[in-house]
Structure 1
Amino acid sequence: MIGKLENLPNEILLMIFSNIKWFEMIESFWSLNQQFNSLIGFKISGDNGINISEECLYFNKYYKILSSTLFNSLSCIPYIKWIRIDGRNSSCCDIISQWIFDGNILRFINLKKLILIECYVIEKLIENLSLLIEHQLDELILRFDKDIFKISHHERSSGIIACNQEPKLMLMFKEFLRELFSVKCQLTSIELDISDDDFSTNIHRSYSLSIGAHSNVINNELITHCMNLRYLHIHLIYGYILEYIIQRTPALEILSVQFKDGLVKQSSYELQLQQFVPNLFNCRSMGLENSNAESSSPSADELETREIEPFISTIATDENSSSASVMRKTAFLYHCASLQTDYFLIPKLKCFIIKSVIINDSQLNYLKWILNNVNYIEKLKIRLDIKKSVEENFIVNRNIIYKYFLPDVSRNLLDFDFYIASKCKSLLSNDIHRIINSFKTDRFFVNHIFTNVQCVFDPVMSYQYLSSTRIINPKRFDGMIDLPTIFDWEHPKYIQIDLCPSTSLFLKQINTIFPYRIHIKFSMAHHDKCIDKNKLRAEVLAYLISMPIQLIYLRIEQYEWLLHLVEYASDKLRKNALSTVRHVEFCLTSCYYGSNESIQMGKNLIPFLSRYMPYLQILRLWRDDDFAWTPIPPSCWSRYLNSSNRRRRLALLIPEVIQQHVIVFEQNISELVQQLKHFVYLDIYGQTDREKIEPYRLMVQTRFPNSRVFIHISRFRLWL
C-alpha cells in the first residue's frame, strides 16, 4: 500500500519541515495544496526569521526565491522579524539590499533585527543601513569583512587615489559608524566588531575626542545623542574610543566592551597635548569642576589626590622616563581628572562588562577612572590579561582588587564577576592561601557573598589566575604554539600546533580535550628540496586527511603539498578521502617568478582537482601575483626579463599584454567550470593592476552573464 505525504498528521509534517532548509521547503512544497501552504507559513512565521548562513551554493536559490513573485505571495512575510546573512563564502553584498527592499519599499515591513556576518560593504548597502537604523530596526549585529579595512591602503599604494585622500566608500563607512551613536540612530541594541581596523584606515582615530572636559563641540561638530540605545556590545582595538561612545549613549543599560590591543593608547592624545592643561585650569576658573552635587563620584580634586599625585611621583622618580614621556603621561592623567561625572553620565547603566589586555600602570589607572564614573552599576564583569613585566612580579590580591578593579564607592553592586590573569615571577602556596582567605574575611566581600574566590599559580607560563568563581585552566599540550587568549579559554575556537612526536597522541584524545567544534592549524615546514622531508610531511598529511569520515573543508598552506601527498603517500591515504571535499583553500606559487617547475605548477591545477575532488564547490586561492594561475605566452614578456623593474612593469601594462592576461584568465575560469560540474564560487587573493580590473570585469560578464563578480586590485570573487 502506497501512502501519500499529505496524509501524514500536521505534527509530523512540521517535524519534517524542521529538518529542511527554509528555501528548500518553499521550493519543494509551496503551492502543492492549501495544507502545505498553511504549514509552511506557520513554520516560517513561528521562527520569525530567515537564516541565510549556508555555503554560497545556495545563494542563487535564495536570490531567486526572495526576488520572485512566489515569495512575495507568502502570507508569512509580515511575520518575519529578523534576517541573518553570512557573507563569508559568497559575493552577496550587492543583492542584500534587493532581498530586503523591493525597489524603494521595505519588503519585510516588521523587520526589527538584522545580522550581517562578514558581508562586504558597498555604497548601496551603507545607504540602506543608514535608512534602516533610522526608521526600521531595533537590533543590529555587524561584523564586517576584513577587506573593508584594506581598501584605502591598496588604493593609495597603487595610486588610484592620492596618499592624503580617503576613498569614497571608506568615508561613507566612517560616517555610518558615527551615525550609529548619533540622534539619527533609533536602535535599542548594537553588536559591532571593528577590531580589524588598521593604521591605513584608522577608523578609531575618526572617533577621537577633543580633550576639553566640558566642550560641547567634538571635531567641530555638535554632540548628538543616541537616546534609544539600551544594549551595546562592541569589540575595539583601543580604549580611548569608549569615551566618545559613552558621551553619546546616555540611555545605556548594558555595556559590554572588549579591547583587542589595550585599554588606552596614549599616543592618540599626543597631538592634543596643548589643549590638556589649559582646558583643565579654565574649567576650574569657571567653577565647573563639580556641577553635579548629588553625584557620589569623586571630584576632580579628589581624583588628583587619590590617583594622579602618586602616579606623577612614580613618573618623576623614574630616571629612565624621558621629558616627553613624563609630559604625555601627566597630561593624560590630567585629562582623566578633567572629565567630570556630567560628561560620563550614563545613569541607567546596570551592567558593565569589560575585557582587555593591560600592559602598564596608566591603563590600570584609566580602568579605575572608568569604574569610578559608573559606581552605581548593579553588575560588574571583568576579564583582564595583565601582561606587565615578569620582573615586576605583579601579584593581584584583595588590595589590588580594591585599588584598580572596584569603584571607590559601590552603591548598588550586586554581582561582581572577575577573572584576572597576571604575569608574575612566582607565587608560593602560603601566599595563595593568604590571598583566598583575605576575601573570606573582608566585610565588603562577605556582605555581598563574593567569597568564593579562587587563586592558582601556573609555573610553566609564569601566570597568576584569580577568579571570583572558578579557575579555567587553559588546555595545553606538547607542540602547542598559540595559547588562546583568556577570553577564549573555556571554549577556544582556534589553536595552532607544531608537528612533534606527541601529535599522534593528541589527535587520539582530541574528542576528549575539545568535545566541541574547533579549528586546528598544523604548522609544517615550507617547501624543501629535501625529498625525505617532503615525504614525511606527505605521510603526516595523509594521516590527518584520512581522519574525518567525510572531509568537507580543507585548507592547506601550499598546493604543492597536495601534489606530494599523491606522489609520496597515496598508499597511506584513505581511499577516496579527498572525493568528499567541497571547499578547498591553498597558496599557489607565482607563474612568472621562480623555478620552471613552480611556474608551470598551475597548469595541473584543474586536472588535479577534477580527479581527486570532483564535487568541489568552492575554491579559494592565495597568489603572489595576478589572478590567473597559468602564465601568458612567454613571447609577450620574456624579452623584458633583463630590463629594469620599472620598464618591465610598464611593459606588462601595454594593451596587447593586458589582453593576453584577460584571455589566459578566461581560459582558466572556463576550464574550471567545465571540469567541475558542481562548482559555484571562486575567491582569489592576489595583486593585479588597476588597468586590468575593467577588462576582467567585462570578460566575466560576457563569458558568464548570469554570474556575480567582484573585482578589486587585491581580490577577485566570482559567484556562478
Structure 2
Amino acid sequence: MISRTSIEALPNEILLKILSYLSWYDMLTSLWSLNIRFDYLVCSSFSIDRKLSNTGLVFALGLSYNKFARLFPLILECPSLCSSIQRIHFNETNSIACDLMYELLFNDKKILHFPNLKSLIVTKCQPMEPIIQCFSYLIEHQLDELTLTFDERMIKYYINIRRNLSKISNKAQRTAMIKQLVSQLFSSRCHLTSLRLDISKFFVGYSIHKCLSSNSYSSLNSTEYRNQLFCLTLRRLHIRLKHCCFLESLIEYVPNLEELLVAMNLSLKYDVDNHLNIEKNQQSNRNWFNKVSKLRFFSLKALINNDGGFHCLKWLLNNLNYVEKLQIHLKGDGFDERKSQTIWKSFIDANFVRQYCLPDTIINLIHFDFYICSQGELSFNDIEMIKNSFRNHSFFLYYQWTNVNCLFDPIMSYQHIFSSFTNTFPISLHIGNDLNIFNWPKMGRFCWNLYPSLYFILRGFVYKSTSNPSSITVYTVNNYASIRRNSLREKVLAHLISMTVQLKYLRIERFEWLLDIVEHETNILRTNAFRTVQYAEFCFPSIHNGDTRKICDGKHFVPFFSKYMPHLQRLRLWRQDDFPWTSIRPPCDADQRSNRYGCFILRWLKSLKTPESIAQHTTIFEHDLGQLFEALKEFKLIDIYGEIHYEKVESYRLMTETRFPKSRVEIDTSRFRLWI
C-alpha cells in the first residue's frame, strides 16, 4: 500500500523553500487564511530577505490590475502582513502602479503601511511630485536599499518640448524635483546603505551634475559640520552617469563608501568643469583616500573615443589607487582621423594594460579584471603575442594575472581582450546599448550588434564562458529605413529564436520581420518557438503615412498573436503616429514621389483633426483593443508610444474607461497604457 503524506506534514523549513518559488499574489490567493500555520509561513516568507528578484511585493509579469486591486487591500487590512514586508518592487514595464505609489505606501494620516520596509526598487519611474515625496521620506526615515531608474522615453518627451509653455514649465518643475532628490541622496538626510541610481538620461548638458558642489565645505572642515552635510551610511553605490565631473563632486559626500560601480552613458572624457582639476591632480601624488578611505571595490564601464578619455581614466585610477578590487570595461568607438587616437592605435598587450588601465602606483590591489574591445587588425601570431605578453610580463607574473584571452572578429575588425583571472566575463560587448546596469555584475546577459560575425561571438564567448545565459539581446544596425525583405536577417533571427528553450521575452525592431520569418523560414524556425512568449516589443508601421500595402498590415496583428503567441501577457509598441493598428486611410494609387501623392497625404493628415475623423479612429481603436483582449485570454498590459492630436486624448480615454471599466488607463498625446 502506498503511503501518502499531506503538504501540512512537511516541516516549516521545506515549506518555506517551496514558498520561495511562488509570487506574492500566488501565495495570498492559494494559502492565505488557510490556517494559522500557513499564515505564519506566508508572513515569514515575506520577511526573509533573500536578495532575489521575486522576493517581497513585486509588480511582475502576469499581475493583472484586477488581481492587484483585489489583493492589495487584503494586505493593507492585515497588520501582520504589512509588518512582514521588507521589499517592494514597482516595475512600470509590468504595470501602471508607480503613480499609485504614494497611496499604496502611506495611509490617510501619511503613516507608512509597511513599518519594516527596507528595500525599494522602482524601475521606469515617471518623475511626479507624489513619487518624489515618497522617495524623500523613505530614504531619510525608512529604507536601507534603493534602486531607482526613470522612464527615459518620458524624459526625452519632456526634453524635446519646444512650443507648449505649460509643458516647458512642467519639465522645469520636474528637473528641480530631481535635482533636489539627488542632493538629498548624498546628504545627511539620506540613511541608505545601498543605492543603485541611473541619472544618465534625465538632463541635457551638465545641469543635474551641478546639483552637488565640490567645494562646499572647503572653509568648514569641522567633524560636526561634515556629519551634517554628508551621507555617512552609504556603503554601496551603483550609478550610471553622463559626465565625469559629477563623480568628482560625489566622492566628497560619501566618506564611508566601500563599493563604487560606475557606468558612463557617454564616452569618458575631460569635462569642462574638472579639466583643470585633472591636470593639477596629475602633477601631484594626492588621491581620494582622504575622501573615501574605506573604498575597497571600484568598477568602471565606459566608452573611450580619444586620448583624452585615457587621460581621464588614468586620473580616476590614480585617485583610487588604494582599492583592493578593480574592474575595467572599455570599448573604442572606431577610428576617426578628426580625433586624437594615438593610444587606441597602439598594440594592446600587457604593456598597454599596465600603462593605461591600472594606476601608476599599486598599493592594495588584490583582484583585477578587465575587458577591452577595440578596432584593429590581428593575425594569429598577434593573438599569441598578446597572450604571451601577459605570461612574460613581470608585473602580471608577480600577481599571477596571466590568464588572458584574446579573440578577433575578422568581419568587423574588432579585437576582444579580456581577463580570466577570477572566471569573470565581460558584461556586455556593446556598452552603449546595455542600459540595465542593475543586473551588473551578474554575468548572465549578453548584448551584441547584429552583423555577419554574430556566430563568431556566440561560439567564442557564450559557449566557452557561461553555460546558462538568461537572455541574449541582439541590436540591429542601420535598418530603420528598410522595409524590404532581407533573407539573411530572416535566417539569423530564425536561428536565434530557435536556440531558446522557453522564449518569454521577445524584442524585435519591426513587426514585419516576424511575419517574414513565419512565412519564409519555417524550415529553420523551431515548431512552437513563439508559443511561450509572454512579453513582446517592436515597432509598428504608420497607419497614416507611407506605402498603402505596408500600412494595411494591421489586419495580421491580432491573428498573428492569437496563433503564435497565445500566452502573451504584455505588449509594447513603438509608433510613428496614432495608437490604433488598423488603418482607415483610403488607398492611393499615385507614386509616392509624385505631387499627386503629396497632396493626397496633406489632405488626409489635415482631415485627422476633424470631429468625424476623431470619432472614427476612436471606434477603430476600441475595435482593435477589444479584439486583442478577446483573442489573448492571459493578456494584461498594452503600452503604446506614438503621437496623436491633443483633441483625441479625452475621446480615447472615455472610450477605454467605458469599454474596460475594471482597468487602469493612462493616456496623453505621446503614450497610451492600459492595465486590466
Fold match by TM threshold 0.5: yes
Taking structure 1 as reference, are residues 210 and 646 closer, same or farther at Cα in structure 2, changes over 3 Å only? farther
What is the aligned partner in structure 2 of residue 116 from structure 1?
122
Aligned residues: 636
| Pairwise CA distance, 1:358 | 3.7
| Pairwise CA distance, 1:106 | 0.8
| Pairwise CA distance, 1:681 | 1.0
What is the aligned partner in structure 1 of residue 35 from structure 2?
33
What is the aligned partner in structure 2 of residue 301 from structure 1?
none
Q: How does 1:179-194 map to 2 (within 5 A)?
A: 179-194=184-199
Taking structure 1 as reference, are residues 677 and 160 closer, same or farther at Cα in structure 2, changes over 3 Å only? farther
Q: How does 1:294-443 map to 2 (within 5 A)?
A: 333-334=279-280, 345-374=291-320, 377-385=322-330, 387=332, 388-389=341-342, 392-393=345-346, 395=348, 401=354, 405-406=358-359, 408=361, 410=363, 413-415=364-366, 417-419=368-370, 421=372, 436-439=391-394
What is the aligned partner in structure 2 of residue 598 from structure 1?
550
Q: Is the contact made by 2:543 and 2:582 (CA closer than 8 Å) also made in structure 1?
A: yes
Q: Is the contact made by 2:542 and 2:575 (CA closer than 8 Å) also made in structure 1?
A: yes
| Structure 1 CA distance for aligned equivalents of residues 167 and 138 of structure 2 | 33
What is the aligned partner in structure 2 of residue 674 from structure 1?
630
Equivalent of 1:176, from 177, 181, 187?
Answer: 181
What is the aligned partner in structure 2 of residue 89 from structure 1?
94
Q: Is the contact made by 1:213 and 1:343 (CA closer than 8 Å) also made in structure 2?
A: no
Deviations 1:607-635 (A, max 9, x none): 44334434432222222211111235759
| Structure 2 CA distance for aligned equivalents of residues 135 and 120 of structure 1 | 23
Matched, 1:629 2:631: no
What is the aligned partner in structure 1 of residue 401 from structure 2?
452
Deviations 1:426-449 (A, max 9, x none): 769678756654425xxxx89xx6
1:184 partner SS: coil
| Pairwise CA distance, 1:50 | 0.4
| Structure 1 CA distance for aligned equivalents of residues 247 and 136 of structure 2 | 22
Structure 1 window deviating more from structure 2 (247-256 vs 8-17): it is 8-17
Deviations 1:369-397 (A, max 9, x none): 4445455x351414142744477416565
| Pairwise CA distance, 1:124 | 1.6
| Structure 1 CA distance for aligned equivalents of residues 260 and 500 of structure 2 | 41
| Pairwise CA distance, 1:483 | 11
| Pairwise CA distance, 1:455 | 5.5
| Pairwise CA distance, 1:152 | 1.4
Q: Is the contact made by 1:135 and 1:186 (CA closer than 8 Å) also made in structure 2?
A: yes
| Structure 2 CA distance for aligned equivalents of residues 541 and 22 of structure 1 | 36
What is the aligned partner in structure 2 of residue 10 from structure 1?
11
- The residue type equivalent to 1:582 in the other structure is Q
Q: Is the contact made by 1:455 and 1:471 (CA closer than 8 Å) also made in structure 2?
A: no
What is the aligned partner in structure 2 of residue 618 from structure 1?
570
| Structure 1 CA distance for aligned equivalents of residues 575 and 539 of structure 2 | 6
What is the aligned partner in structure 1 of residue 672 from structure 2?
716
Matched, 1:61 2:67: yes
| Pairwise CA distance, 1:52 | 0.9
Consecutive unaligned residues in structure 2, runs of 5 or more = 221-225, 333-340, 591-595
| Pairwise CA distance, 1:553 | 3.6
What is the aligned partner in structure 1 of residue 223 from structure 2?
none
Q: Is the contact made by 1:214 and 1:343 (CA closer than 8 Å) also made in structure 2?
A: no
Consecutive unaligned residues in structure 1, runs of 5 or more = 217-221, 270-275, 277-328
Structure 1 window deviating more from structure 2 (676-685 vs 359-368): it is 359-368
1:90 partner SS: coil
| Structure 2 CA distance for aligned equivalents of residues 475 and 182 of structure 1 | 31
Equivalent of 1:77, from 77, 82, 89?
Answer: 82
Q: Is the contact made by 1:618 and 1:682 (CA closer than 8 Å) also made in structure 2?
A: yes
What is the aligned partner in structure 1 of residue 474 from structure 2?
521
| Structure 2 CA distance for aligned equivalents of residues 345 and 510 of structure 1 | 40
Greater C-alpha radius of gyration: 1
- The residue type equivalent to 1:105 in the other structure is I
Q: Percent identity?
A: 32
Q: Is the contact made by 1:41 and 1:74 (CA closer than 8 Å) also made in structure 2?
A: no
Q: Is the contact made by 1:246 and 1:344 (CA closer than 8 Å) also made in structure 2?
A: no
Equivalent of 2:258, from 253, 259, 275?
Answer: 253
| Pairwise CA distance, 1:131 | 0.7
What is the aligned partner in structure 1 of residue 655 from structure 2?
699
Q: How does 1:550-589 map to 2 (within 5 A)?
A: 550-565=502-517, 567-568=519-520, 576-589=528-541
Deviations 1:121-159 (A, max 9, x none): 4332111111101111122122333224213134x1463
Q: Is the contact made by 1:209 and 1:243 (CA closer than 8 Å) also made in structure 2?
A: no
- The residue type equivalent to 2:122 in the other structure is L
2:99 partner SS: coil
Taking structure 1 as reference, are residues 657 and 335 closer, same or farther at Cα in structure 2, changes over 3 Å only? farther
Q: Is the contact made by 1:454 and 1:471 (CA closer than 8 Å) also made in structure 2?
A: no
Taking structure 1 as reference, are residues 404 and 563 closer, same or farther at Cα in structure 2, changes over 3 Å only? closer
Q: Is the contact made by 2:507 and 2:538 (CA closer than 8 Å) also made in structure 1?
A: yes
Q: Is the contact made by 2:543 and 2:551 (CA closer than 8 Å) also made in structure 1?
A: yes
Q: Is the contact made by 1:213 and 1:340 (CA closer than 8 Å) also made in structure 2?
A: no
| Pairwise CA distance, 1:465 | 4.2
Aligned-pair Cα RMSD in Å: 4.8
Deviations 1:262-321 (A, max 9, x none): 33343x43xxxxxx9xxxxxxxxxxxxxxxxxxxxxxxxxxxxxxxxxxxxxxxxxxxxx
Taking structure 1 as reference, are residues 167 and 671 closer, same or farther at Cα in structure 2, changes over 3 Å only? farther
| Pairwise CA distance, 1:112 | 1.6
1:630 partner SS: coil
Structure 1 window deviating more from structure 2 (710-719 vs 563-572): it is 563-572
Taking structure 1 as reference, are residues 710 and 456 closer, same or farther at Cα in structure 2, changes over 3 Å only? same
Taking structure 1 as reference, are residues 405 and 86 closer, same or farther at Cα in structure 2, changes over 3 Å only? same
| Structure 2 CA distance for aligned equivalents of residues 50 and 106 of structure 1 | 16
Q: Is the contact made by 2:83 and 2:116 (CA closer than 8 Å) also made in structure 1?
A: yes
Q: Is the contact made by 1:365 and 1:404 (CA closer than 8 Å) also made in structure 2?
A: no
1:657 partner SS: helix
Q: Is the contact made by 1:29 and 1:36 (CA closer than 8 Å) also made in structure 2?
A: yes
| Structure 2 CA distance for aligned equivalents of residues 675 and 342 of structure 1 | 60
Which has the higher relative contact order, 1 or 2, with Cα contacts under 8 A spaced 6 or more apart?
2
- The residue type equivalent to 2:58 in the other structure is I
- The residue type equivalent to 2:174 in the other structure is L
1:115 partner SS: strand
Q: Is the contact made by 1:482 and 1:496 (CA closer than 8 Å) also made in structure 2?
A: no
Taking structure 1 as reference, are residues 504 and 2 closer, same or farther at Cα in structure 2, changes over 3 Å only? same
Q: Is the contact made by 1:709 and 1:719 (CA closer than 8 Å) also made in structure 2?
A: yes
TM-score, normalising length: structure 1: 0.73
| Pairwise CA distance, 1:590 | 1.4
- The residue type equivalent to 2:648 in the other structure is K
Q: Is the contact made by 1:253 and 1:351 (CA closer than 8 Å) also made in structure 2?
A: yes
| Structure 2 CA distance for aligned equivalents of residues 499 and 468 of structure 1 | 27
1:682 partner SS: strand
1:137 partner SS: coil
Q: Is the contact made by 1:63 and 1:99 (CA closer than 8 Å) also made in structure 2?
A: no
Taking structure 1 as reference, are residues 187 and 536 closer, same or farther at Cα in structure 2, changes over 3 Å only? closer
- The residue type equivalent to 1:385 in the other structure is L
